[in-house]
Amino acid sequence: MKRISLFTICFVIFIACWVFLQFVIGGVISKPIPNSVIGMYMALVLVAILVHVSVEDSRFKEFLRPVYETLVDDRYRVRRLVLVIVIPLLLTGFSYTNLAQKTPPPGDPRDAHPTPPLELKYKDEVIETMQKAQNPYRHYEKDDPETFRSHVENGKKVYYDNCFYCHGDHLDGQGHFAHGLQPLPANFQDPGIIPNFQEAYFFWRISKGGPGLPASGTPWNTAMPVWEDHLTQEEIWDVILFLSDYTGYKYRTFGEGH
């Protein structure tokens, strides 16, 4: 049996790496990887292959041998002809599709976690500084479980009267209106949401909604209403209690490391 040439091996490894990134990781295991990222990985693979083959002079010669042969050897006339047609065709097609591309839609450089203001406000009333503000009913969890339950129950009612159309019966951001909104409503079942924020942060986002986001977070497109126009402070704190009670996630508290 003829030995497989070093060039073929390298070529196969290169293609295999691409298939692995594009289809195995980017399809079977996880979501598709952006082309730019795949490009970066493939550049690394290419460099690695080139380093490997050029470590020794003889190996490099062995690597280039099939290339030379294809270019000049009379035995490979057919292969040469095929390549001289296929390579320019591919390049031509590539440049055509690039030029004929449609105008790309505007990107969405939205800041997912906008910076809150220094003071927590309800309408114009300052409640406390953002750092110090606490849920005034949280302490009942230890002190008076019965009162705590009644606040959670009230929060549940507030949630189903106002929030669940978008944020969903499962609190997963998949309410029956969610398909009409862009960006999608927050998913409270996501482990990256509740544990990363203080209750005061939630109070701010609920009470001030989309229009209350800072200029640095533009262009906010969120349809989140300004709930302080409709809900009392107590109702907002109660619904915050309900969110963590239902999902089992705990809000971040100060004292924990950043």
Please count the residues of the chain: 258
* Rounded distance between C-alpha atoms, residue 128 and residue 118, angstroms: 9
Stretch that binds other proteins, among 25-33, 129-137, 195-203, 223-231 (CB under 8 A): 223-231
Count CB neighbours of 146 within 10 A. 7
Q: Quick check: 155 binds other proteins (CB under 8 A)?
A: no
Contact 41, 57 (CB under 8 A): no
Q: Quick check: 168 binds other proteins (CB under 8 A)?
A: yes
Q: Quick check: 66 binds other proteins (CB under 8 A)?
A: no
Q: Quick check: 144 binds other proteins (CB under 8 A)?
A: no
Figure out which of the listed residues 22, 122, 136, 172 binds other proteins, where binding follows CB under 8 A.
Answer: 172
Figure out which of the listed residues 144, 160, 191, 232 binds other proteins, where binding follows CB under 8 A.
Answer: 160
* Rounded distance between C-alpha atoms, residue 123 and residue 51, angstroms: 64
Alpha helices in 112-191 (DSSP H): 140-143, 145-158, 164-167
Residues in a beta bridge with 122: 125
Q: Quick check: 165 binds other proteins (CB under 8 A)?
A: yes
Contacts with other proteins: how many residues (CB under 8 A)? Answer: 54
Q: Tokens 């009267």 belong to which residue? A: 161
- Reported for 68-73, long-range contacts at CB under 8 A and 24+ positions apart, including other chains, are none
Q: Quick check: 123 binds other proteins (CB under 8 A)?
A: no
SS3 of residue 74 by DSSP: helix
Figure out which of the listed residues 66, 136, 195, 210 binds other proteins, where binding follows CB under 8 A.
Answer: 210
Closer residue to other proteins (CB): 139 or 191: 191
Figure out which of the listed residues 88, 145, 191, 192 binds other proteins, where binding follows CB under 8 A.
Answer: 88
Q: What is the longest distance spanned by two Cα atoms in the chain?
A: 92
Stretch that binds other proteins, among 67-75, 144-152, 191-199, 248-256 (CB under 8 A): 67-75
Alpha helices in the chain (DSSP H): 6-19, 35-54, 57-72, 77-99, 140-143, 145-158, 164-167, 199-208, 233-247
Closer residue to other proteins (CB): 117 or 139: 117
> Could you list the residues that contact other proteins (CB under 8 A)?
68, 71-72, 80, 83-84, 87-89, 91-93, 95-96, 99-100, 102-103, 105-109, 156-157, 160-162, 164-166, 168-170, 172, 174-177, 179-182, 210-211, 215, 218-221, 223, 225, 229-230
